[in-house]
Amino acid sequence: MGGLTTRWSRIASLGAVVALVAGACGGSSATSAPPASTAPSTGASTAPSAAASTAPSASAAASGPKSGGTVYLLTQAQQFDQVDPQRAYTGEDMAFFQATIYRSLEAYTISPDNTKASQLTPDLATDLGTPSNGAKTWTFTLRDGVTFQDGSPITCADVKYGTSRTFATDVISGGPTYAIQYLDIPSNKDGSSQYPGPYKATAAQQALFDKAVTCSADNKTITFNLNQPVADFNYTVTLGFSPVPKAADTGESYGVAKPPVASGPYEVQSYQTGNGGKMILVRNPNWSQASDPYRHPYPDQWEVDFGLDPQVMDQRMIQSTGNDQTALMYGGIMPQDLATVFVDPNTAQPQYAGRVVNGYDPYARYIWINVQKITNQKIREAMAVALDRASYRKIAGGEFVGDLADGVIKPNLGMDYAPTNMWTTMFGQAIPDGGDPAFAKQLISQSGAAAPTLTFNYADTPTYGKIAAAVQASLQAAGFTVNLAPIPPGNYYSTVFDPKKAGDFGIGGWGADWPNASTVIPPLFTVKGGWDLSQANDPTFNTAVAAANAETDRPTQAKDWQALNTEAMQKVWAIPTLFGKASLIMGSGLATGTGANGGLYIWGPYGSNPYGDVYVK
């Protein structure tokens, strides 16, 4: 579960975030999201009217959303990590592609409201899917009239083929692997699937997959047979289950050597990577609004500009002249430019009102503690208590980059979040943001052991260097000795995941794949989860996680996650630091269809720009 690609290295190097975890998160910060399966289709039949109705008082958007124009997307990246629909796994990329070129069975609702946005809307499917067999079988029926860009119909076979590609892990690498995890296909002894993907499967191996995923006779209904009950499998199908026509598949180079086959309202006209490179999307002539009530593609064209300098980008966005008037920026505003556009995180400077927004990004940031090395819980408690979280946040960029965190489940996960009281009552007394070295010393003496010498891992960037120094100073004030072990940014995660090379504690981050802590607690704190930087492997905890995963009553499941989040914090497998926030900006010539007064908002499901909702004024 979860997806992180080579993007680690790039953004980690910026020193802004190291937790470049792709994924979706939804739910507002305070209110609970209703269970996904109960969410009705919003099914707006014509986009403009639907959007206009949500912003009746908008002065900027008084004329309402309209079609036309070109929207530019400025990015520092040299390219999209992956264009292949089975391989794309960076939140922002997925948000962009799903709004423009790729359709999936289900999609997240377009809304500035996190609760609403975290609910599914049928996309290629006619409804939100039908579970049966105790949620071990899921069935989706395709809409009529859905086509690829060449006009050929999108069939069950195309969705099935797209899904099968995920199993070719040697070629289709880097993408989400939920299909492998959940589809009812036997495993080899080493845990890999017996189905090696469509490229080199024998007839017998292909039969295994054909049994797990079946199509109806009319090729319009797809059935997934799962190896376990998955109550929220309709969320899962937003990740890597897009259709790909078999005839067009070129494997490793799919989507790059030639444009990928589009199913959404736009198609790729050209794609050049690197500095000065562009991806140009034009309208897909074979897309029809009738077959896609979910999207309202306002711009006539999209142009993604790669390889821009972040400082230059900020200035271009702030000045907003020429083509930049209709530009969006991939990634946040740099810390030094925040004061230009914001009064405080909740208030824009007047001339930038509606153009900038500060809100939760998908990531929770934390310091993992290797419990195989630091086995004494009191020592870990002392580390948490001693940590100067206030300095950490200040160095990272202050209140614009995040709220102080109390766990790894973030408030934007909706009902799964509950305060853990980690810093108020959990350790018996309130812990100030700046840390409490005296109390930490007490905890060390209670541990019955001497304060150990600790090695701290972090990506070697200027910002993290300063953060590491603050971590070192605050823990040393409590009597620890801390050795700093910086790691080149491009190698950070591959190093800390190597038990032989990892230190005692270090910087980490994680974003949920969809608005359910099933994509947070298991990956972070179970061995099979894939992101277990803490090396936690507690049998009781593992059992409780399995039970929560199988819980089909969503509110009950939420309570389970809340409890597990609190338990992990009590055992101090990680010290939560920040609930990350991003500061986005859009050009003065753009507006959103559903934002307040047509203003910019962070689209909750991917913590991204609202690509599906912007239009040229």
Partner 1 sequence: MVAYTIRRLLLMVALLFALTAAVFFLFNMLPGDPARLTCGKACSPSVIEANRHRLGYDQPILTQYGQFLGGIFFGRTFSSDSPQPIVCNAPCLGYSYSRHQQVLTMILNAAPVTFWLAVGAFVVWISISILLGIFAALNHGRWPDRLVMGISLVGYSLPSFFIGLLLIFFVILKFNWLPFPAYVSPFVNPVGFLKTMILPWIVLAFLNTAFYMRLTRNQVLETFHEDYVRTARAKGLPERTIVVKHALRAGLTPLVTAAGMDLAALLGGAVITESIFSLPGLGSLAVNSVLQSDLPLITGITLFSSTLIIFANLVVDLLYAFLDPRVTIA
Tokens encoding 276: 């000065």
Instruction: Tell me which stretch binds partner 1 (CB under 8 A): 28-36, 63-71, 252-260, 279-287.
Output: 252-260
Which DSSP string corresponds to 373-399? Answer: T---HHHHHHHHHH--HHHHHHHHTGG
State which of positions 4-33 bind partner 1 (CB under 8 A).
4-6, 8-10, 13, 21-22
Question: Under the criterion CB under 8 A, does residue 200 sit at the interface with partner 1?
Answer: yes
Return the closest-CA partner of residue 575 out of 397, 376, 394, 365: 365
Considering only 32, 139, 152, 169, the residue that binds partner 1 (CB under 8 A) is: 169
Considering only 85, 523, 604, 610, the residue that binds partner 1 (CB under 8 A) is: 523
Which DSSP string corresponds to 474-531? Answer: HHHHTT-EEEEEEE-GGGHHHHHTSTTT--SEEEEEEE-SSSSGGGTHHHHHSGGGS-
Other CB atoms within 10 A of residue 207 CB: 12
Burial of residue 453, with CB atoms counted within 10 A of its CB: 0-12 exposed, 13-18 middle, 19 or more buried? exposed
Using DSSP's 3-state secondary structure scheme, residue 167 falls into coil
Question: Under the criterion CB under 8 A, does residue 479 sit at the interface with partner 1?
Answer: no
Minimum CB separation from partner 1 for residue 112, in Å? 28
Closer Cβ to partner 1, 99 or 168, answer by number: 168
Those residues whose C-beta lies under 8 Å from the C-beta of residue 511, and which sit 6 or more positions away, are 19, 21, 22, 23, 24, 25, 91, 361, 362, 363, 364, 607
Considering only 269, 340, 530, 552, the residue that binds partner 1 (CB under 8 A) is: 530
Considering only 157, 256, 473, 544, the residue that binds partner 1 (CB under 8 A) is: 256
Question: Under the criterion CB under 8 A, does residue 494 sit at the interface with partner 1?
Answer: yes
Instruction: Tell me which stretch binds partner 1 (CB under 8 A): 114-122, 225-233, 307-315, 403-411.
Output: 307-315
Number of amino acids touching partner 1 (CB under 8 A):
70
Minimum CB separation from partner 1 for residue 388, in Å? 28
With vertex at residue 464, the alpha carbon angle to CA 463 and CA 465, rounded to the nearest 5 degrees, is 90
Question: Under the criterion CB under 8 A, does residue 331 sit at the interface with partner 1?
Answer: no
Distance, CA of 382 to CA of 449 (rounded, Å): 12
Considering only 153, 214, 490, 563, the residue that binds partner 1 (CB under 8 A) is: 490
Those residues whose C-beta lies under 8 Å from the C-beta of residue 221, and which sit 6 or more positions away, are 139, 140, 141, 142, 156, 215
State which of positions 575-604 bind partner 1 (CB under 8 A).
none
Instruction: Tell me which stretch binds partner 1 (CB under 8 A): 162-170, 217-225, 286-294, 404-412.
Output: 162-170
Distance, CA of 149 to CA of 20 (rounded, Å): 32
Closer Cβ to partner 1, 248 or 473, answer by number: 248
Minimum CB separation from partner 1 for residue 511, in Å? 9
Tokens encoding 552: 């089909």
Q: Which residues bind partner 1 (CB under 8 A)?
A: 1-6, 8-10, 13, 21-22, 78-79, 89, 168-171, 173-177, 188, 190-192, 199-200, 249-253, 256-257, 273-277, 305-309, 311-312, 315-316, 319, 321-322, 487-495, 497-498, 501, 523, 529-531
